[in-house]
């Protein structure tokens, strides 16, 4: 697992930018940005602060099943932003995939 990519993914799923996450986590925005771009290593202490800011545990951070749940939550949240026509189109597409 790439820790930098995972942080970016979780941050984006929450809909926040690096500046906001850094502020909540109590780290500098430049340091968080460097971690996300693989320019600096993330210490376990910093990762714990980031996880706390994301309202997840370290265990959740490394749990792939939890990752799927978080992605599904983000997807469902996006569905609420669609109008009826768009939602009907998504339903049609999903039904196409489900047909055997």
What are the tens digits of pLDDT across the range 34-56? 999 999 999 999 999 999 999 99
Average pLDDT over residues 64-84: 79
Average pLDDT over residues 18-28: 97
Which CATH number is 1-62 given?
A: 1.10.260.40
Domain ranges of the chain: 1-62, 63-100
3 touches 44 (CB < 8 A): no
Separation of alpha carbons 99 and 92, rounded Å: 11
pLDDT at 67: 64
Separation of alpha carbons 16 and 98, rounded Å: 33
Q: Which residue has the higher pLDDT, 43 or 72?
A: 43
Task: Tell me: pLDDT of 10 over 80.
Answer: yes
Average pLDDT over residues 67-84: 81
């Amino acid at each position: 697992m790439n820790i930098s990519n995972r942080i970016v993914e979780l941050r984006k799923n929450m809909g926040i930018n690096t500046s906001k996450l850094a502020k909540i986590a109590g780290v500098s925005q430049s340091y968080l940005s460097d971690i996300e771009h693989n320019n600096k290593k993330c210490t376990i202490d910093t990762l714990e602060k980031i996880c706390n800011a994301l309202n997840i545990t370290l265990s959740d951070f490394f749990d792939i099943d939890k990752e799927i749940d978080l992605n599904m939550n983000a997807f469902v949240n996006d569905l609420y932003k669609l109008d009826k026509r768009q939602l009907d189109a998504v339903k049609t597409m999903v039904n196409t995939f489900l047909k055997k």
